[in-house]
Chain A
Amino acid sequence: EVQLVQSGAEVKKPGESLKISCKASGYSFTNNWIGWVRQMPGKGLEWMGIINPADSTTRYGPSFQGHVSISADKSVNTAYLQWSSLKASDNAIYYCARHVRNISSRWIDPWGQGTLVTVSS
């Protein structure tokens, strides 16, 4: 079974750093790009960025470029989302998701269970 298992909920103070993880299993990790999606409280889904675990090529959504860092370690089948200095506006649930592609189409499946990040002084 293809699974993405994310690290647990975090409570941090503004200005602190944070790195959350997304461990893949059930498929060859380097065969599929992994993306990150933000969901702020009571709001919709926002695309943050995507990484190719095979060579760590990364692309970021315009709203997130420079604010977060996406990385991957293929030796442990894990992707990461990192902040160097959290803000209160980073309060959200963060999902990782596997990007699937065939000749004519793309989709996202599966999604991780989500990591709740709470930033509060």
Chain B
Amino acid sequence: QSVLTQPPSASGTPGQRVTVSCSGSSSTIDAVTWYQQLPGTAPNLLMYSNNQRPSGVPDRFSGSKSGTSASLAISGLQSEDEADYYCAAWDDSLYGWVFGGGTKLTVL
């Protein structure tokens, strides 16, 4: 079973660019997705297929993947971006999703 590792926290000031990393343990990790969970709400799809934004997601958010590591970048940081961010990947051997531990983003 794959494991995805994220830093527990990240922070930035308004207007800054911040990145959240997601490191995978398996070379067979499929495309990475990212979810944003605002305080007290359900997770919401933020990025799929490594770098594809669903409609409605601002282009301030971008994703990338290289080898078994992925990153989510947020440019022009805003106070409303303060949330928990989770990466996830499908694991064929598990026939299920593997989630990273989540990164709590604080806007200072």
One of A35, A45, A109 near B45 (C-beta < 8 A) = A109
Q: Is B35 touching A108 in the complex (CB atoms < 8 A)?
A: yes
Q: Mark B71-92, 1 if CB is under 8 A from A, else 0.
A: 0000000000000101010100
One of B1, B30, B42, B102 near A106 (C-beta < 8 A) = B30
Of the listed stretches A12-20, A75-83, A84-92, A111-119, chain B binds: A111-119
| Segment 32-70 of B: residues with Cβ below 8 Å from A | 33, 35, 42-45, 48-49, 52, 54
Is B107's beta carbon under 8 Å from chain A?
A: no
Interface size on A, residues (CB 8 A): 24
Is A28's beta carbon under 8 Å from chain B?
A: no
- Contact size range, B: 20 to 34
Q: Is B99 touching A46 in the complex (CB atoms < 8 A)?
A: yes
Residue of A nearest to B1 (CB): A62
| Chain A residues, Cβ within 8 Å of B54 | 109
Task: List 18 interface pairs A-B (beta carbons < 8 Å), by A numbering.
Answer: A35-B96, A35-B97, A44-B86, A45-B86, A47-B94, A50-B96, A59-B96, A62-B94, A105-B49, A106-B33, A107-B33, A107-B45, A108-B35, A109-B48, A110-B44, A110-B45, A111-B42, A114-B42
| Chain B residues, Cβ within 8 Å of A95 | 42-43
Q: A45-B43, A62-B1, A95-B43 are in contact. Are A108 and B97 (CB under 8 A)?
A: yes
Q: Bound state CA distance, A82 and B88, in angstroms?
A: 25
Q: Bound state CA distance, A49 and B97, in angstroms?
A: 9
Q: Is A111 touching B44 in the complex (CB atoms < 8 A)?
A: yes
Q: Is A49 touching B96 in the complex (CB atoms < 8 A)?
A: yes
Residue of A nearest to B101 (CB): A44
Q: A61-B94, A105-B31 are in contact. Are A113 and B42 (CB under 8 A)?
A: yes
Q: Bound state CA distance, A104 and B69, in angstroms?
A: 18
| Chain A residues, Cβ within 8 Å of B96 | 35, 47, 49-50, 59, 61
| Chain A residues, Cβ within 8 Å of B100 | 44
Residue of A nearest to B44 (CB): A111
A106, A107, A113 interface centre (most CB from chain B within 10 Å): A107
